A = this chain, B = another copy of it.
Amino acid sequence: MSILFKNADILSVKDGRFEYLQCAYLGVEGKVIDYIGTEAPVKEYSEVKEMSGKMLIPGLVNSHGHTAMNLLRGLGSSLDLQQWLAIMWPIEDRMRDEDCANGMNMAILEMLASGTTSFCDMYMSPGHTQACIGESGMKANLTRVMMGGFKDTDYRLFSNRLEALEFVRQYDNAYDGRLRADWSMHAEYTIDAEVARKWAEETTGLGGRFHVHISETRKEHEDCIKRYGMTPAAWMEETGFFKIPTYAAHCVWCTEEDLQILSSHQVSVVHNPSSNMKLGSGFAPIPRMLELGINVALGTDGAASNNNLNMFEEMHLAAIIHNGYVNDPVAMKAETVLKMATINGAALQQRLDTGSLEVGKKADIVAVNLDAPHMKPNLDPLALLVYSAQASDVTMTMVDGRILYEGGEYLTLDKERIIREFEDSLRYLYR
């Protein structure tokens, strides 16, 4: 199976920077991009797709979220954080394996339609939700969220531990590598110190990556200092984490010393601007992280605190809110933000074969419509993507050379069935 996209504008890469080709060709052989150029390729492709008026961009990577929290979308909005959590937790406690899968499937519909080709998830029931990755054709790094142990510090009885170990053992690199099984710990404030230490020890050396929340709120950050005499980042380092590749969500209240710790261990940071703004958490020091060479990716967080899974919105926010915060119109640039949403996310997931449109890379490709009134003129393609484009401008989403979404239709998934099952879960959870 091979496909040639013709007459497309293509956001490719040259010497490590984006290169914009107009009216160009991109060829896909099997799962891999085998041609990019402004001249027609010599090779014959089995399918040719006319793409004039479309821009091909790398698939977006949503590097932090809790997808099944779309079952809680809109719940407790306009409440403060403690009231909000008090509403969330009893409903999450009721969630069954099938609810997690029904939520993730619905999230996949939303993500595919908005140009996301890969995501990172920290939630429950990954042994069950892994099938959503298999069926849909998307890429994901899933984890079993680890928390608790306060009442029962007997590590052997720490039940999530066995689920996580079994999940990673069984599913890492499943579905031809589209699924990666990672480790996680929710956060410093939701785990017993002794359980955390043992968990860090046990997971080191088993492969995989580590997904964690760090210093999302001021309270979390300051409470940790009171509890342990050090910040969450310092506590994690001291507890034995960061020995395997780690990605840390939020990092809003990280100090300069924290950033040095993250940098020295090559910890990636996931910026979640919608969630950080909506919940009043604050402004993560993203420009400083970038200066330090930290790999910063972008995520939506869960739909309960966003309230959607729209990476175009996150790009827009990441590109403008820091300018406003530091009163500098060039604090963040469109090019930087687009890298955060693509190649940096791929690096965090340790998928070095994707994240950009280059010959030899996996064909994880999104087509963006340039013909809408809000997309004219195209004087600056990167600015157009980051400041003007909407998720609804996505007309096609391809993963590993397979078209999963095109023109409002899902090619691997039964949308009606997924909506029906999602509504079944809603009825159960809110009964």
Contacts and interface: CB of A to CB of B under 8 A. Distances in A.
A379 interface: yes
Interface stretch (A34-42, A70-78, A204-212, A344-352): A70-78
Interface string A298-321: 000001001111100100110111
B277 A334 contact: no
A22 B50 CA distance: 43
A376 B323 CA distance: 32
Interface stretch (A106-114, A135-143, A256-264): A106-114
A355 B218 CA distance: 39
The size class of the interface chain A forms with chain B is: 35 or more
A73 B75 CA distance: 37
Contacts of A387: 74, 77, 278, 306-308
B278 A73 contact: no
A328 to B, nearest CB: 5
B380 A75 contact: yes
Given A71-B377, A73-B376, A321-B324, 4 more contacts: A78-B334, A278-B324, A307-B384, A373-B419
Contacts of A218: 327
Contacts of A372: 110, 113
Interface string A212-228: 00000010000000000
16 contacts: A73-B384, A74-B380, A75-B380, A77-B334, A78-B333, A274-B320, A278-B387, A279-B323, A280-B329, A281-B324, A282-B324, A282-B327, A283-B324, A317-B317, A321-B324, A376-B422
A403 interface: no
